């Protein structure tokens, strides 16, 4: 079994650099922060994931704290970092952010959180 | 004399390992909505997946007669279709009865479990899985380690529930999740070497508090790597014999611990605390290295064999 484990670890080690960012994309950082409050309207919502994402199959939707959808433009990837998804914003209020992303190896993940502006 | 005594101790080891076998074959992991369920160590996960645990190293608590047992387990889970999965597992054992030389070799049985994912409710983070598990007789050292000389067939039902759908007033409970398993053993021989093989009812639960869910889905409390990928948990597993002279005898353990998950692997460690006199005394421990084959090999062995 030790030999099998060593072979697997070797295979994983050899494959990981080649894979680059190939795994489920977990949310690593959110701005405004998850469950947080910001004093003034942010220029954008910026989500940073653990993996590169496919912008064609990824998005951010915004709703008020009461659940009413807010029309926004489409979220777009940061040209300098394929792990970041950006959405321009926002008037004072309480918001729910719902996101879904597909990582570059087609794994899909999703999530939501709330934050407040000027409250 | 030595052989007879050794056989008796081995039979005790067999009884406990058999009873706990189902709870030790946890390999699956997955998502339900925005809830990530890590692979738990003691209890099965309610998900089909492409994953491997190699190894799971267990130092068991001393048995009532003072025997010490160390196990090294390997589990491989493979999706046949997106909702149908097969899990294979086996273990190597080192059994050291007091005052006698240690015995080593394959212990327990080669287990195969076929599972079907019948429920995946994303908004409510709910999972359901049914399966049939088979522990094949004569796939371990029968005389020396008490491995079964009979096959056991067990229908299984597993569930999972994340509490991310709780109201805002219960914010801090949202990272909680519970998984559970129920199974019933049907041995194909009623007795072996004069000892009865009872039917058994097995059940177990894991109670998880995901710091990843707290940090990235509920409230940013400033956790950064590696702490934002930790899942403290407590697992419990019990087995109750229901007939053949063992009716009502229960074996169980309680295992508090923590799991850290990354992009390709997860690592878990738990203490093993006997929950009944039959399960031994003192303490033990378990560590597990677990690979997400679907993330390591997304374009080959990490995919279902058939899409439907």
Q: Distance between CA B46 and CA B112 in Å, rounded?
A: 16
Residues B151, B133: Cα–Cα separation, whole Å: 10
Residues of B in contact with A112 (CB under 8 A): 34, 217
Q: How far is CA A106 from CA A75, A84, B31, in A?
A: 18, 16, 14
Residue A17, pLDDT above cutoff 50? no
Give pLDDT tens digits for B18-54: 334 433 333 335 899 999 999 999 999 999 999 999 9
| Domain coordinates in residue numbering, chain B | 2-296
The residue among B67, B61, B60, B94 whose CA lies nearest residue B5 is B67
Facing A34 at nearest CB: one of B36, B217, B295 = B217
The pLDDT score that the predictor gives to residue B140 is 95
At residue B186, the pLDDT reads 97
CB A65, CB A93: distance < 8 Å:
yes
| Mutation to test the A interface, candidates B32, B104, B121, B216, most A Cβ within 10 Å | B216
User: Can you tell me the distance from the alpha carbon of B250 to that of B239, in angstroms, rounded to the nearest whole number?
Assistant: 5
B54:A4 CB<8 A = yes
Please state, in angstroms and rounded to a whole number, the distance separating the CA atoms of residues B181 and B179.
Answer: 7
pLDDT in tens, B237-292: 999 999 988 878 899 999 999 999 998 999 999 999 999 888 888 999 999 999 99
Which two structure tokens, joined as six digits, stand for A116? 């407040």
Residues above pLDDT 90, as percent of chain B: 79
Tell me whether residues B54 and A28 touch, CB distance under 8 A: no
Structure tokens at B24: 């030790």
- Min Cα distance A79 → chain B (Å) is 23
Of B297, B220, B53, B31, which is closest to residue A113 (Cα–Cα)?
B220
Mutate to test the interface with A, among B227, B263, B265, B266 (most CBs of A within 10 A): B263
Q: Can you list the domains of chain A with their CATH numbers? A: 21-117 (2.60.40.1220)
- Strand B30-32 and strand B35-37: the pairing is antiparallel
Structure token pair of residue B296: 């390591």
In the structure, what pLDDT confidence band is assigned to residue B17 with cuts at 50, 70 and 90? very low
Higher pLDDT, B107 or A11: B107
B216 vs A contacts (CB less than 8 Å): 26-28, 30, 34, 111, 113
Q: Are strands B35-37 and B51-59 parallel, antiparallel or unpaired?
A: unpaired
Cβ-based contacts of B165 with chain A (< 8 Å): none
Say whether B216 and A27 touch across the interface (CB within 8 A).
yes
CA atoms within 13 A on the CB side of B246: 22
B2-11, B98-107, B129-138, B239-248: segment of lowest average pLDDT: B2-11
Any idea how long chain A is? 119
- What's the pLDDT score for residue B16? 43
d(CA B20, CA B279): 10
Q: Is this prediction's ipTM beyond 0.90?
A: no
Q: Do A111 and B292 touch (CB under 8 A)?
A: no
Considering only CB atoms, which chain B residues are within 8 Å of A110? 33-34, 122
Domain B2-296 CATH (choose: 1.10.540.10, 2.40.160.40, 3.40.50.1370, 3.40.50.10880) = 2.40.160.40
Question: What pLDDT score was predicted for residue B23?
Answer: 37
Residue B179 has a pLDDT of 98
Predicted local confidence at residue A49, as pLDDT: 94
Q: Which residues pair with B174 in a beta bridge?
A: none
Place of tokens 């697992």: B235
Sign of CA dihedral B240, B241, B247, B249: negative
Task: Give which of B114, B120, B231, B136 is closest to B175, Cα–Cα.
Answer: B231
- Note whether A31 and A112 are within 8 A (CB): no
Task: Give the pair of three-digit tokens for residue B41.
Answer: 């160590």
Q: Is B263 on the interface with A (CB under 8 A)?
A: yes
Chain A residues with beta carbon closer than 8 angstroms to that of B34: 109-112
Rounded Cα gap, residues B308 and B121, in angstroms: 19
Report the gap between the CA of A80 and the closest CA in chain B (Å).
22
pLDDT at A6: 58
CB contact under 8 Å between A1 and B34, yes or no, is: no
Q: What is the CB-side half-sphere exposure of residue B164 using CA atoms within 13 A?
A: 30
Please state, in angstroms and rounded to a whole number, the distance separating the CA atoms of residues B56 and B41. Answer: 8
pLDDT score for A42: 82
What is the spatial distance between Cα B197 and Cα B229, in angstroms, rounded to a whole number?
42
CB contact under 8 A, B292 and A23: yes
> Shortest Cα distance from A10 to chain B (angstroms)?
12
- What contacts B31, CB < 8 A, 6 or more positions away? A24, A109, B37
The minimum CA-CA distance between A115 and chain B, rounded to whole Å, is 9
Q: Where are the alpha helices (DSSP H) in B46-188?
A: 142-145
């Amino acid at each position: 079994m030790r030999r099998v484990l060593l072979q697997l670890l070797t295979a994983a080690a050899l494959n990981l650099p080649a894979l680059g960012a190939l795994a489920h994309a977990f949310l690593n950082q959110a701005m405004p922060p998850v469950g947080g409050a910001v004093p003034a309207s942010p220029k954008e919502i910026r989500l940073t994931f653990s993996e590169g994402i496919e912008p064609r199959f990824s998005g951010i939707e915004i709703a008020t704290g009461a659940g009413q959808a807010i029309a926004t433009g489409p979220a777009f990837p940061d040209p300098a970092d394929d792990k970041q998804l950006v959405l321009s914003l926002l008037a004072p209020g309480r918001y729910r952010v719902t996101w879904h992303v597909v990582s570059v190896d087609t794994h899909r993940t999703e999530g939501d959180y709330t934050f407040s502006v000027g409250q | 004399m030595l052989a007879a005594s050794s056989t008796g101790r081995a039979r005790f080891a067999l009884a406990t390992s058999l009873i706990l076998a189902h709870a030790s074959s946890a390999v699956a992991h997955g998502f339900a909505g925005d809830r990530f369920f890590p692979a738990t160590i003691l209890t099965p996960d309610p998900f089909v997946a492409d994953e491997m645990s190699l190894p799971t190293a267990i130092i068991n608590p001393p048995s009532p007669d003072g025997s010490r047992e160390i196990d090294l387990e390997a589990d491989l889970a493979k999706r046949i279709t997106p909702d149908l999965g097969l899990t294979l597992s086996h273990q190597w054992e080192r059994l050291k009865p007091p005052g006698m030389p240690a015995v080593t070799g394959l212990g327990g049985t080669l287990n195969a479990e076929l599972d079907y994912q019948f429920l995946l409710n994303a908004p409510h983070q709910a999972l359901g899985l049914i399966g049939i598990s088979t522990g094949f007789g004569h796939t371990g050292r029968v005389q020396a380690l008490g491995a079964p000389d009979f096959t056991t067939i067990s229908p299984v039902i597993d569930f999972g529930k994340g509490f991310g759908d709780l109201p805002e007033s219960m914010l801090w409970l949202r990272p909680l999740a519970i998984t559970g398993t129920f199974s019933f053993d049907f041995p194909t021989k009623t007795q072996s070497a004069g000892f009865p093989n009872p039917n058994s009812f097995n059940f177990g639960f894991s109670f998880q508090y995901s710091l990843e869910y707290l940090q990235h889905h509920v409230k940013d409390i400033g956790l950064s790597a590696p702490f934002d990928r930790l899942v403290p948990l407590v697992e419990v597993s019990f087995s109750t014999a229901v007939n053949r002279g063992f009716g009502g005898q229960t074996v169980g353990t309680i295992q508090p611990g923590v799991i850290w998950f990354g992009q390709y692997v997860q690592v878990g460690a738990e203490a093993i605390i006997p929950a009944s006199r039959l399960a031994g005394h003192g303490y033990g421990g378990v560590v597990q290295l677990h690979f997400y084959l679907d993330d390591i090999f997304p374009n080959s062995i990490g995919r279902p064999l058939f899409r439907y």
